[in-house]
Amino acid sequence: MKARTLAALLFLLGATYLASALPGDDSVSSIADQNTSKTVSASLLAATPPLGWNSWDGYGTTVNEEQVRANADWFAKHLKPFGWQYVVVDMEWFVSNPTPEGNSKQSNYTMDANGRYTPAENRFPSAAGGKGFKPLADYVHSLGLKFGIHILRGIPKKAVEANAPIAGSSFHAADAADAADKNETCPWNPDNYGADAGKPGAQAYYDSIANLYAGWGVDLIKVDCISSRPYRADEIRMLSTALAKTGRPIVLSLSPGPAPLEKAEEMRQYAQMWRISNDIWDLWHSSVEYPQGLDDQFPNILKWSGIARPGHWPDADMLPLGYLGPAPGWGKPRQCQLTHDEQRTLVTLWSVFPSPLMIGGDLTKADEWTESLLTNKEVLAVDQQSVANRPAIATFSTFVLLAETPAHDAYYLAAFNRTESPADLAYAWKELGLQDGEYSVRDLWEHKDLASAKNFAVHLAPHASVLYRLQGRASGGKH
């Protein structure tokens, strides 16, 4: 069994560099050492994976102020008590004639005299009079929450055409943009030119927008077209540098995916989150690059396991749960198409990885089931507090991940059936990299203590999963 599992794991990865981190190897302890410290500075930005709501899955680029406030109100009442914090306005908030999927060549933009996008006032009326997002951010802050926005890398083409002056500097837009090289334009969005790090105005432009956003009270920036297709190291560095200069703690989230694994250390230096995959929507599997489905994420989770550190999180993308409407960024308005088993699998996989959790959809239409997925304290503790997260079994049919409690006195075990048929999983503890013995078992989704076990056995429906907490009975802790 173990030999077959190892072979499948290496086949999935397409490389051998993770083989030394498989269960039962001494390197597991080194993963734990790298990924377990919770004695972090109280001021560390994103010390745990950020929890929030993002408007994309429900509203695409069409979200308006009334809708943001309504979702923020629901969020504060239902999710804030469980540690959720961020309310994020996604793409093209500066377009006055938006379409749900965005990226239109007919967009009408709003921006200030210094070539910086400002909220479209027909959608965000409190932005009138040059106030920008500050009134909306103030409202979100009044609820005890944090406020975020989406931006695209680079500088608006309209600003370059006008050669707008760059605020706080002697430079103009032409001193920042790379307008000659078509490769410097986002391949799927026409709004901006890239910022050329070799030009003197590029850092000045990033400084100017960072100061604007800090003045609005922004707490998180999701920057797009920067971490893949292609990876833009210079612009990541410039934006991170600009945010640091403001003196305001602002989480930097890099998108889209898949970000390159070989750049993990560089991304840790400059950002708090980065996407590991293309967009994940409410599908089990996709045969095309966009969108991707839940089952397509297992190889990415495997590839990035053990990379997370406090303050620096590989991001498995948003949670397309609940009502995806009225104008989702992909597809027609709908209830999440994943089955209930698949929805639990999604939240379980993200949590034991662990990933930031950003719920999409219209929260004001969330049903009891959707709310239950987001407010299970025992499951959220796995996402927020688990350490030494690592793969145990990885095949085309079965996936098992392990993690530990911060005190290293218990394990978390998540098991997944990736097939279209029911499956009976059975492993000796040693096959999972655990010591043999008897463990007490708690089902975290069901809040239920199960019978103690001398091995692991579970029956799983198609695409279903379980999330257990294991504690060695003989010692009262881990074996």
Note whether 467 and 400 are within 8 A (CB).
no
Q: Which of 12, 50, 31 is nearest to 306 (CA)?
A: 31
pLDDT band at 20 (very low <50, low <70, confident <90, very high): very low
Omega within 30 of 0 (cis) for the link into 310: no
pLDDT at residue 179, rounded to an integer:
82
Domain 2-34+390-472 sits in which CATH superfamily? Golgi alpha-mannosidase II (2.60.40.1180)
Whole-number Cα distances in Å, 364 to 198, 323, 324, 329: 47, 9, 11, 18
- % of the chain surpassing 70 pLDDT: 89
* Residues 248, 242: Cα–Cα separation, whole Å: 11
Average predicted confidence (pLDDT) for the chain? 92
pLDDT at residue 43, rounded to an integer:
79
15 pLDDT higher than 70: no
Q: Which of 347, 327, 325, 345 is nearest to 336 (CA)?
A: 325
108 pLDDT higher than 50: yes
7 pLDDT higher than 50: no
11 pLDDT higher than 80: no
Structure tokens at 337: 């198409």
Whole-number Cα distances in Å, 87 to 72, 90, 92, 139, 478: 7, 10, 16, 11, 38
pLDDT digits (tens, 9 = 90+) for 162-188: 999 999 999 999 999 988 765 568 999
pLDDT digits (tens, 9 = 90+) for 295-309: 999 999 999 999 999
pLDDT digits (tens, 9 = 90+) for 86-100: 999 999 999 999 999
Tell me the HSE value of 255 on the side-chain side, using a 13 A CA sphere.
20
272 pLDDT higher than 50: yes
Note whether 251 and 220 are within 8 A (CB).
yes
pLDDT at residue 2, rounded to an integer:
43
pLDDT at residue 38, rounded to an integer:
46
- 264 C-beta neighbours (distance < 10 Å), count: 18
Domain definitions of the chain by residue range? 2-34+390-472, 51-385
24 pLDDT higher than 90: no
pLDDT digits (tens, 9 = 90+) for 330-358: 999 999 999 999 999 999 999 999 999 99
pLDDT digits (tens, 9 = 90+) for 437-454: 999 999 999 999 999 999
What pTM was computed for the model? 0.92
pLDDT digits (tens, 9 = 90+) for 32-80: 344 544 445 667 999 999 999 999 999 999 999 999 999 999 999 999 9
pLDDT band at 269 (very low <50, low <70, confident <90, very high): very high
Lowest mean pLDDT among 148-152, 189-193, 289-293, 471-475: 471-475
The CA-based angle 63-236-316, given to 5 degrees, is 60
**What is the arithmetic mean of pLDDT over 104-120?**
97
**What is the arithmetic mean of pLDDT over 399-422?**
98
Whole-number Cα distances in Å, 15 to 4, 12, 318, 401: 16, 8, 27, 19
pLDDT at residue 180, rounded to an integer:
76
> With b meaning 16 or more CB within 10 Å and e meaning fewer, what string describes 107-134?
bebbeeebbbbbbbeebbebbeeebbbb
Q: Which residues pair with 414 in a beta bridge?
A: 401, 467
The CA-based angle 463-464-468, given to 5 degrees, is 145
Domain covering 51-385, topology: TIM Barrel (3.20.20)
pLDDT digits (tens, 9 = 90+) for 459-476: 999 999 999 999 997 444
pLDDT band at 26 (very low <50, low <70, confident <90, very high): very low
